[in-house]
Amino acid sequence: MFRSAIPNIITLLNMLSGALAIVATFALKFELAALLIILGAVFDFFDGFAARLLGVTSAVGKELDSLADLITFGMAPAFMIMNVLFSLLNVDVNVFSLQLLIGLLPLLLGVFSGLRLAIFNVDDSQTYSFKGLPTPANAVFQVSFAFLLLQNVQFATWSIVLPTVIVFSALLISRIDLLSFKQWKGSTRILILILLIWSVVAGFLFKFTAGVFIIPIYIILSVINSLLNNKGTKDEVHS
């Protein structure tokens, strides 16, 4: 019984990390919030690893993992951007205004993350690849986007924030095929290696804003991979 509980305990630590990250954003401790989200990602990796290692995977663990991901990779980054905007724009939350609406818009990312996770749990076609942007990838972009706003206050406007929120909300529930490490073969392996190398380079160059430059490349490489796979399938049919 204790062995079967280990993966769930790790998942709960992921959930706790996400909850603490939300608290940190309200305290305007954005670097701490980012580190807590990263810690949650570490727990998210090891809960699945532990479950497979111990042979104790379960339906409850799968659902619990999605709930933890919703908090850590959905709501925490959304609250982070919201509180960044509130702090940069000096928004009075007690007064209805356009700035208040702009600041609340990022919460849509948390809502669509929840929808994305629900779809993922019942979609058998995502066993070896992703359809739509995975919530951890979305979190990487949104956390980096929050730091980009902090470093470039002039970007904290509705004309930049609103399109970003709309595009990534749509990506979360889209049917676009995106790369997964489970696809480690052929040309896909080369594209994943390119992504990993670029991620390391971007991390050194841009630090906390690296995700803004990594995730778009991830999406572009995924589209290239999809086109190559479709071409390969057509060639096989014609042959």
Give the number of other CB atoms < 10 A from CB of residue 221: 19
CA-wise closest residue to 136 among 56, 203, 214: 214
pLDDT tens over the chain, length 239 residues: 677 788 889 999 999 999 999 999 999 999 999 999 999 999 998 988 887 787 777 778 888 999 999 999 999 999 999 999 999 988 888 888 888 888 899 999 999 999 999 998 888 776 667 889 999 999 999 999 999 999 999 998 888 999 999 999 999 999 899 988 777 777 788 999 999 999 999 999 999 999 999 999 999 999 998 888 776 555 554 44
Burial class (CB in 10 A: 0-12, 13-18, 19+), 216: exposed
Are 50 and 6 within 8 A, CB to CB? yes
Contacts of 196 (CB under 8 A, 6+ apart): none
pLDDT, residue 1, reads 64
pLDDT of residue 180: 84
What's residue 238's pLDDT?
Answer: 47
User: Considering Cα of 195, then 201, then 207, then 213, what sign does the dihedral take?
Assistant: negative
Query: Angle at the Cα of 223 (from 220 to 224), degrees rounded to 5?
Result: 90
Determine if residue 57 is left, alpha or beta; phi over 0 gives left, psi from -120 to 50 gives alpha, anything else beta: beta
How deeply is 16 buried, as exposed, middle or buried, from its count of CB atoms within 10 A (0-12, 13-18, 19+)? middle
CA nearest neighbour of 59 among 4, 2, 108: 4
